[in-house]
Amino acid sequence: MTQSLLQDIKVTKTENSKISQVDFNNLSFGSTFSDHMLVCDYKNGTWEAPEVIPYQPISLDPSSKIFHYGQSIFEGMKAYKDENGDVFLFRPLDNFKRLNISAKRLAIPELPEAFFMEGLKTLLEVDKNWIPTTQGSSLYIRPFVFASGKGFHASPADAYKFIIATAPSGSYFAGKVKVLIEEKYSRSANGGVGYAKAGGNYAGQFYPTQLAVAKGYNQVIWTDDNKHEYIEEAGAMNIFVRINDSLLTAPTNDRILDGITRKSIIEIAKQEGINVEVRPISVTEVVNAAKNGSLKEMFGAGTAAVISPISVFGYQGTDYTLPELDNDYASSLKKRITDIQYNRSEDPFGWRIKL
Ligand code: PLP
Ligand code: COI
């Protein structure tokens, strides 16, 4: 069946919905995919009209530059359903802008705003029933762009695909997170692509993260590539550290992703009257604070991770255990941000967008 929901976006619906096979009470993260996807091609110097089609494999030439030179970027966002069945997005324009920041750095043609925003809204309208209502779940949205153009010449491709796929998802981490502060490997360097959401940034983390996982940790906390003296961010989230009553997070730079959750948490915490310090955080400061008892909390912040409390951090062969607090910032900040996202509270910041 073919119909047009929005003026310019062609929709072809599947005749074989998979929704009845999904157990919405037992969702893992990002492993079950909704019925439809948005696809949009860049050819002959222009982005062609996006279309919504049934979720399906894509066919690519073996010489497509994505396979050889890694021209690939993505975003991570979520759609939330409230108890009335209304659907909301959280700061979606920020994701759109960041996708184009990444595109520019990877020499990928930037996308028009309407293709992203209207395309996303059309896709969500079509797959509205896939947005979970079970506690803590949401529809994870993965917009991505990659080089489909052919050729072994090491230069930007002449063709790209923009796709949005979605996945009803539960929590990213099963429980509290154990992190290892990295002393050898680097995620990114000055002048590099660390601030972009480039696929290669994640590929480069996998090996050091495997080493950390083999030692019993869940994630690596990356440190500066120069001397590994300062805490930067984790594999899939920005990092906050609470020392006494102050909440610290590293300033974003060339090497750190400008997380939308991070900047929202900074604003919410300030509104709550918490002293927020955006400044370099040395590993020595954190280790000393752990030793003298002033280190109260560490947590990660990201779309997939939401706010994920850290229970233990490892550094130079020693594990430091974070205390269990009754009035922790992580829980209250998580409540504030998810109440806004799921339309359970006022949104004084104007971040929530109704579909
Ligand atoms: N840092 C990295 C490396 C990430 O992959 C993510 C996830 O998107 C974040 C930080 C958090 O960013 P956001 O809050 O925009 O999801
Ligand atoms: C997100 O939080 O949306 C991300 O992109 C992290 C991802 C690596 C799961």
Which amino acid makes up residue 4? S
Residue with token string 């594999």 = 235
Question: How far is residue 212 from each of residues 179, 226, 308, 327, measured CA to CA in Å?
Answer: 8, 20, 18, 30
Give the domains, in start order, of the chain with CATH numbers: 5-169 (3.30.470.10), 177-341 (3.20.10.10)
Show the beta-strand stretches assigned E in 170-273.
177-181, 219-223, 231-234, 237-243, 246-249
Residue with token string 């805490």 = 231
Our mutation pick for probing the ligand 1 site, out of 238, 338, 340, counting the most ligand atoms within 8 A of Cβ, is 238
* pTM over 0.90, yes/no: yes
Our mutation pick for probing the ligand 2 site, out of 75, 142, 172, counting the most ligand atoms within 8 A of Cβ, is 172
Q: Mean pLDDT of residues grouped by 10 in the chain (355 residues)?
A: 58 96 94 97 96 97 98 98 96 98 98 96 97 94 98 98 97 91 96 97 97 96 96 96 98 96 98 98 98 97 96 97 95 97 96 96
Query: Counting atoms of ligand 1 from 1, which one is nearest the CA of 76?
Result: 8
Residue 34 and residue 17: Cα distance in Å, rounded? 9
What are the structure tokens assigned to 313, written together? 């951090």
Tell me, what's the pLDDT at 175? 84
**DSSP H or E segment with residue 9:** strand 9-12
**Residue of 141, 162, 196, 160 lying closest to 66 (CA atoms):** 160
β-sheet bridge partners, residue 315: 318
**DSSP H or E segment with residue 133:** none
